[in-house]
Amino acid sequence: MPDRDHLAADFAARAGWGAARRLPLAGDASARRYVRLVAASGATSVLMDAPPGLVEPVADFTRVARHLRNLGLSAPEVLAEDPAQGFLLLEDLGDALFARRLEADPDLEAPLYTAATDVLVHLNTVPPLEGLPVYDIAVMADYVSVLPEHYAGGDAAPLVAAMRDALTRLVPDTEAMILRDYHAENLLWLPDRTGLACVGLLDFQLAMRCHPAYDLVSLLQDARRDVAPAVEAAMVARFAAATGADPGAFAATYAALGAQRNLRIIGLFARLAREAGKTRYLAMIPRVWALAQRCLSHPELADLAEIVTKSTPAPAADHLQALAVPCPGQ
């Protein structure tokens, strides 16, 4: 049976890019791989290799990408596809990730985050793509069980119950399309485009329906970089004003969703280290822990904060070192 490299080469050839040079691009935490194809003319495209059965079907990416493009947003155009084999050929949006642009020019933080926030406001004003799964309160609460299972040890039930209670009280039953991994490593700055199209979108195949503040948390409470507190506060206020939300109630919703997301991420990063050997994620846990603690300091989350304090150790160096040891059998 042909290996993935041969299958990818055959797909590229069928799409008219068989003679192109192949330049590997950075991937994500999944089994997906990305390769930039460079034609003799200088034209470029990106080949996505998403092995069936190991990652989400490429049809999910294609469907969401076309929906986003129909909304006037800059998701990459799908140039060719082979859903059965798990390959896509995509428009190349370049390398100007928000994270890299901000490393080079920190003064861009406010304009970049303003543009990204306005994309989320827009997604909140249009009906979600039909057929998306719902990221509801029960699912969100259950998902934090990854924290005790892979990071802290102990019984997940009290944490899950407290999270469910907090979300039920504080997160209104409002649904918008969320992209779920909406942060500076998945957004591109495209200043030659106008309006909302200046934000390039990547890694959205896991899109769901949820309260629209979820992606705002993902953007502003980033596991990979520190967002200036003044910028975070300004973007939260901007989003609340644009969507007509009461500022006080929205702050509680934002804190509850932030606690859920950050606690879950700590557990996910621990699992990636122990089960997949991806120990680089452990270095991000202290930042995510600090973000979680900030969210848990909201008065409405006092009960949840108490359970986390009792059951979850802070990310001291010795605890993180222990997480770097693979699980038995891995």
3-state secondary structure of 49: strand
Question: Could you report the per-residue pLDDT of 7-64, keeping only the tens digit for each?
Answer: 999 999 999 999 999 998 876 656 889 999 999 999 999 999 999 988 889 999 999 9
Give the pLDDT confidence of 155-192 residue by residue, as tens digits: 999 999 999 999 999 999 888 999 999 999 999 999 99
Superfamily of domain 4-91: Phosphorylase Kinase; domain 1 (3.30.200.20)
Q: With CA atoms as reference, report the closest residue to 153 among 318, 304, 270.
A: 270
* Stretch(es) of the chain classified as CATH 3.30.200.20: 4-91
* Domain 98-323, architecture per CATH: Alpha-Beta Complex (3.90)
* pLDDT tens digits, one per residue of 300-318: 999 999 999 999 999 999 9
Q: How far apart are CA 224 and CA 107, in angstroms?
A: 18
In the chain, residues under CATH classification 3.90.1200.10 are 98-323
Looking at the DSSP assignment, which residues form a beta bridge with residue 199?
189
Report residue 1's pLDDT band, with 50, 70 and 90 as the boundaries: very low
Contacts 24+ apart (CB under 8 A), 110-115: 110/231, 110/234, 112/187, 112/189, 113/219, 113/220, 113/227, 113/231, 113/235, 114/235, 114/238, 115/196, 115/198, 115/199
Whether the pLDDT of residue 327 is over 90: the answer is no
* Per-residue pLDDT at 328: 59
